[in-house]
């Protein structure tokens, strides 16, 4: 084999190795970032499978259960008759909408200690996302009341009646 053939072989082998490594890194990155959404009831039924996966669990925050220490927060999520203790140790403080009875979504892992260890936390205020009541305008939209006519406005300003 000539010197040029060996160079092509080395270059081809290195290229295949690089493509293989990039594919492996992409696959492991996707596996690590994948999270499964489960209810509290489903989490309790998962058994040992719950400890090995990244999970997302939603529920309502039990009133009086929030204990804050800086960005570290401990609280209890409720879903029907199921309870789940959550320990949040994220880098950011929980959102302002995180309060008693608010809906919260915790992203993390379930520990063998029976506590859900969250790295991310989302919350929403139930009243902000409640369905609009019939007959009330949405925030930021004009009222459905008809505008006054120019003659009515002029009459009031000049003190004359029609």
Element (H or E) spanning 154, and its range? helix 150-158
Determine the Cα–Cα distance for residues 22 and 1; give it in Å rounded to an integer.
Answer: 30
Structural domain range at position 17: 1-34
- Counting the structural domains of the chain, the total is 2
Same domain for 44 and 104, yes or no, is yes
Has residue 146 been placed in a domain? no
98: domain CATH number is 2.40.50.140
- pLDDT of 9-35, one tens digit each? 888 888 999 999 988 888 777 666 656
Same domain for 15 and 89, yes or no, is no
Q: Is 104 exposed, middle or buried (0-12, 13-18, 19+ CB in 10 A)?
A: buried
Same domain for 100 and 90, yes or no, is yes
- pLDDT of 125-134, one tens digit each? 655 445 555 6
- pLDDT of 95-115, one tens digit each? 778 888 888 889 988 988 989
Same domain for 29 and 75, yes or no, is no
């Amino acid at each position: 084999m000539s010197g040029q053939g060996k160079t092509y072989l080395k270059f081809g082998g290195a290229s295949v190795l690089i493509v293989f490594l990039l594919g492996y890194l992409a696959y492991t990155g996707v596996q690590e970032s994948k999270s499964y959404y489960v209810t509290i009831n489903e989490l309790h039924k998962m058994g040992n499978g719950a400890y090995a996966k990244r999970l997302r669990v939603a529920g309502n925050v039990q009133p009086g259960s929030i204990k804050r220490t800086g960005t570290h927060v401990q609280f209890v999520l409720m879903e029907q008759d199921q309870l789940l203790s959550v320990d949040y140790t994220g880098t950011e403080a929980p959102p302002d909408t995180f309060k008693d009875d608010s809906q919260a979504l915790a992203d993390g892992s379930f520990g063998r200690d029976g506590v859900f260890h969250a790295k991310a936390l989302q919350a929403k205020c139930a009243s902000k996302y409640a369905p609009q009541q019939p007959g009330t305008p949405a925030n930021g939209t004009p009222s459905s009341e008809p505008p006054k006519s120019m003659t009515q406005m002029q009459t009031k300003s000049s003190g004359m009646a029609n």
